[in-house]
Amino acid sequence: MSIENYNAVGTVLENGDTVFHVTDTEYWVVAPAALWRKCSWDEAVEHCAVHGYILPTLEQVEEACAAVHFHHDCCWSSTKHTKGYAYAMLLEEGGGHGVCDKASAHWTFPIRRIAYLYTGDKGE
């Protein structure tokens, strides 16, 4: 497939992933809804890894949630605060982020980076 097939935020790929970020050299996707889950932070990290994804940063959580139109509840990020605490994006409380106990159950949006294969001309 050509790069143009993946260059629009919101594009759903054949495997169900949704594009949420695009640059000249890569794009990032969020896993299909069947892989989203509400769990503790440690379970979220393991869940992402088992399925070949990673837990997003705070910035990536915000972008990924916007691309799949998820605008409620709290979502885990990979950003740790201190032992036992990590940051979560607080979508249901007007936005922003907060520090949460890692044992709390919040939404997990597995993401992954896909690099373009350089062919000389973008899109070939």
**Cβ within 8 Å of residue 59, ≥6 positions away:** none
Residue 66: name the closest of 39, 89, 35 by CA. 89
What was the pLDDT predicted at 91?
74
Both structure tokens of 16: 């169900």
Summarize pLDDT for 62-97 with one digit per residue, the tens: 888 888 888 768 889 998 888 899 988 877 656 678
What's residue 2's pLDDT? 43
Residue closest to 27 by CA, chosen among 1, 49, 46: 1
Rounded-to-integer distance, Cα 72 and Cα 58, Å:
15
Query: How much is the average pLDDT of 18-24?
Result: 88
Check residue 82 and give its pLDDT: 86
The model's pLDDT over 88-112, given as tens digits with 9 standing for 90+, comes to 887 765 667 888 999 999 999 899 9
Question: How far apart are the C-alpha atoms of 113 and 21, rounded to whole Å?
Answer: 9
Mean pLDDT of the chain: 84
Kindly tell me the burial class for residue 66, based on how many C-beta atoms sit within 10 Å of its own C-beta (0-12, 13-18, 19 or more).
middle
Q: What is the pTM of this model?
A: 0.82
**Which residue segments constitute the domains of the chain, with CATH numbers given?**
3-115 (3.10.100.10)
